[in-house]
Amino acid sequence: MINVTKTFLPAQEEYQTILKEAWNTGWMTNRGVLVKQLELKLQDYLGTVNIIAMTNGTLPLQIAIKALRLQGEIITTPFSYVATTSSIVWEGCTPVFVDIHPDYLTIDETKIEAKISDRTSAILATHVFGNPCNVEAIEAIAKKHDLKVIYDAAHCFGVTYKGQSIFNFGDVSTCSFHATKLFHTGEGGALFCKPQYFNTIFSHHNFGHNGPEQFNGLGINAKMSEPQAAMGLAVFPYMESILASREKIVEDYSTALASLNLQFLKIREHTIWNFSYYPVIFEDEKQLLNVKLALEKCSIFPRRYFYPSLDTLSYVETSNLPYSASISKRILCLPLYHNLDKNSLQDIINTIKDNL
């Protein structure tokens, strides 16, 4: 069976050796030594500051909305994982969708201002498959209209734009460390923010605590545990080899499929990408379904990602967004993971070619 992704697992004894440090102290959660170690390592590796490790990648979005005191409408993208939209609704705000760029697949910054109203409080945009939004244009719009900016950067571990970590843009950026991601803690995530929001967000992620017996307002439990941090610390030394192997697979895909009548993700200029996903866009949904079925008959399981367009969810207002509507029906992420072997890769490529 070849799935769309596969979790990288270090040697079990390596994980256990790291976890033993927490085991010996009996400190399994509440920001133990391993969580703090992981945050420092990631801060140095990524070139970021003000990082807070959390227990998953969705709570950072919800906490960001709460911490920035957002109300009313939040402009967002329909082309993302459901957590982007559901977090907005969960926090009592209204998502206002803007269509996507047909090549970059990120929110179309030229269409944002037309959707701004006197109820708009923020822009929540997604760096799609690790491909950055037009952060300069979004920052200018936000400044002009006094809006906050949150980036769902779930897929962006290691991505840089113009020499900076993509996590350094916006008021808040969030990342997922889910087991399906190229860097993971089994389940987990992180939040990156401007300095003026750090203390509030830190308090929010730990029940509102301000010391053992003091509270600094409303909070929730979003803390990363020591076993999660141990997994991240065990995976971390392998990041360069993971990235190198994924880059080679992406190159092989691109070379083999270049002559076919398929559309591929266009990476924004000045970006160092992380090879997080390999999406292909077919001519129509019928062609996609035909190829997907053929792959599945060979025990190869790609993923319709992102599908459906989020403006079609039952708890939001449907919008007229032609690019998102079309691309979400035609896009398929092909298998991509660290040890996808050449024979399996060739089987995927041959099956696609034979069924177009």
Residues 213 and 94 in one domain: yes
Residues 61 and 187 in one domain: yes
Residues 222 and 342 in one domain: no
- The predicted structure's pLDDT at residue 102: 97
- The predicted structure's pLDDT at residue 37: 97
Residues 185 and 273 in one domain: no
Scanning 55-169, the segments in alpha helix (DSSP H) are 59-67, 82-90, 135-145
Residues 291 and 168 in one domain: no
Exposed, middle or buried by CB within 10 Å (0-12, 13-18, 19+), for 187?
middle
Q: Give every strand in the sheet of 331-334, ordered side by side.
A: 263-264, 278-281, 331-334
Residues 223 and 259 in one domain: no
- The predicted structure's pLDDT at residue 210: 80
Q: What is the extent of the structural domain holding 310?
A: 239-354
- The predicted structure's pLDDT at residue 215: 80
**Averaged pLDDT, groups of 10, the chain, 356 residues long:** 97 97 92 96 96 98 98 98 98 98 98 98 98 98 98 98 98 98 97 97 91 83 97 98 98 98 98 98 98 98 97 94 98 98 98 97
Other beta carbons within 10 angstroms of residue 289's beta carbon come to: 15
Pairwise CA distance, residues 68 & 121, whole Å: 9
CATH code at position 326: 3.90.1150.10
- The predicted structure's pLDDT at residue 204: 95
Last residue of a domain, one of 237, 254, 289: 237
Residues 217 and 257 in one domain: no
Torsion sign across C-alpha atoms 78, 315, 200, 236: negative
**pTM of this structure:** 0.96
Task: Give all strands (DSSP E) within 101-171, no chain letters.
Answer: 120-126, 148-152, 160-161, 164-165
Taking each helix axis as running N to C, give the angle between helix 59-67 and helix 195-204, from 0 to 180 degrees, rounded to the nearest 10.
120
Provide the domain count of the chain. Answer: 2
- The predicted structure's pLDDT at residue 216: 80
Number of residues in the chain = 356
Last residue of a domain, one of 222, 237, 252: 237
- The predicted structure's pLDDT at residue 7: 98
